[in-house]
Amino acid sequence: MSKDYYKILGVEKNATESDIKKAFSKLAHKYHPDKAGGDESKFKEINEAYQVLKDKEKRQKYDQFGSDFASGFSGGGNPFGGGFNWQDFSSQGFGGFNNGGVEFDFGDIGDIFGDFFGGSRRSSRRSSRGRDIQTEIQISFEESVFGVEKHLRLNKKIICDKCNGRGGTNQEKCKKCNGSGKVTIQQQTFFGNFASVTTCPDCDGSGVTFKETCSKCNGLGSVSGSEEIKVKIPGGIADGQTIRLSGKGESGSKGSQGGDLYIIVRVSKSSKFERIGNDIHSTVKLKYSQLIKGDKILVDTIDGEVKLKIPEFTPSGKVFVLHDKGVTKLNSRGRGDHHVKVILDIPKYLDKEQKKLIEELEKRGL
Ligand SMILES: [Zn+2]
Ligand SMILES: [Zn+2]
């Protein structure tokens, strides 16, 4: 199928390089897929046209071969050999029109083409990243309410102290990538044959290799060991919740990113208190006379003893609310409340005199 690259960019056949660049900038801006009214297929088409017309040699061949070019570009048998070159595209194509004041950066392009260019890079990073680890920590009910700082000792892969995690000594420039950390590979995609830049496999992107491999870690950069970890557990955390410490998992190879540490928090049960949401609940047993006559009592809360006035004629089972004596709210401000339920404390034994008095009360209708 034939494609008129001049028409796509809206320029004349005799347009100058700067006309082409200007036209491309304007159209790429207009049809950029992240823009309102953007059009990804149009954007790609414009870009394809620009890649050819901005290049003197390609443009000349395009003029010469005409319609044959388009099919050659997107499939096999491209008369121009290398096809579309990623480096070319990023550094000259977009760099150029960035300077023209268009808000549009390399990251935008990455998103569009991420599927084609991201793959190999991402997987090579993932393979050298340290493993995630999971552990549990037990804290008291009180610690869960107010928060606590804990120290854990973990056996895991740690950075090799002999080579500082580098994997070797006598550093030299990586021969494969010439110290850049990146290599260009050819990738076959449905757009054609792309040259894409990926992390150098020999040096893992660091740009350096070593004359001598570290004897302690065999070049891995990490060794088995143990590390003390300090963890701040926030007030309000509930039993079973997990804290993630990023990078505190096992060390990666050759100083690459560590894995994450997941700490599952286990909260011990309290003999006095029960947590429901952010509120703390407790029960207090009161004597018949206290409920009938009223009283001033001390109630155990997580903050210590708190005075509570029991009014006269309080029924058994009544709940009193002590504001802000509950659990610290984990993701907002303030605290929950303390709910005290008062219940009648029925005696298990009466002496002779008490029994007589109860019978007296019964006679008086109580
Ligand atoms: Zn080492
Ligand atoms: Zn390298």
Give residue-wise pLDDT tens across range 155-198. 999 999 998 888 888 888 999 999 998 998 877 776 677 777 88
Q: Rounded to the nearest whole angstrom, what is the distance from the C-alpha of residue 222 to the centroid of ligand 1?
A: 6
Tens-place pLDDT, residues 112-151:
333 333 333 333 333 478 899 999 999 999 999 999 999 9
How much distance in Å is there from the Cα of 204 to the middle of ligand 2?
7
Half-sphere exposure (CA, 13 Å, Cβ side) for 154? Answer: 25
Q: Read off the tokens for 13.
A: 């056949």
* Category of 363 on φ-ψ map: left (φ > 0), alpha (ψ -120 to 50) or beta: alpha
Tell me how far the alpha carbon of residue 74 lies from the centroid of ligand 2, in angstroms. Answer: 31
Kindly give the distance from the C-alpha atom of residue 116 to the centroid of ligand 2, in angstroms, as a whole number. Answer: 22
Contact (CB, 8 A) for 306 and 273: no
Q: Give the pLDDT of residue 70.
A: 40
H or E element at residue 111: helix 106-128
Alpha-carbon distance 48 to 8, whole Å?
10
Q: Which of 227, 104, 112, 246 lies closest to 160, judged by CA?
A: 227
Structure tokens at 223: 């060794």
Q: How far is the CA of 172 from the centre of ligand 2 (A)?
A: 10
Q: Which pLDDT belongs to residue 203? A: 82
The position carrying tokens 């009214």 is 37
Tell me the C-alpha to C-alpha distance, in Å, between residue 187 and each of 51, 87, 117, 137, 197.
18, 13, 9, 48, 10
> Full-prediction pTM beyond 0.85?
no
Ion ligand 1 neighbours (CB, 5 A) are 160, 162-163, 214, 216-217
Lowest mean per-residue pLDDT among 23-32, 257-266, 357-366: 23-32
Q: Ligand 1 centroid to 133 CA: how many Å?
A: 22
Which ligand is in closest contact with the Cα of 221? Answer: 1
Estimate the crossing angle of helix 40-53 against helix 56-65, to 10 degrees.
100
Provide mean pLDDT across the span 267-284.
97
Going along the chain from its start, the domains and CATH numbers come out as 5-104 (1.10.287.110), 133-267 (2.10.230.10), 274-363 (2.60.260.20)
pLDDT at 352 over 90: yes
Give the largest CA-CA distance in the chain.
122
CA–centroid distance, residue 165 to ligand 1 (Å): 6
Task: Please report which ligand is nearest the Cα atom of 176.
Answer: 2
CA of 209 to the centre of ligand 2 (A): 7
Question: Ligand 1 centre and the CA of 158: distance in Å?
Answer: 10
Dihedral sign, Cα of residue 4, residue 10, residue 16, residue 21: negative
**Rounded distance, CA 49 to CA 59, Å?**
10
Q: How wide is the angle at C-alpha 255 spanned by C-alphas 204 and 149, nearest 5°?
A: 145
**CA of 254 relative to ligand 2 center, distance in Å:** 13
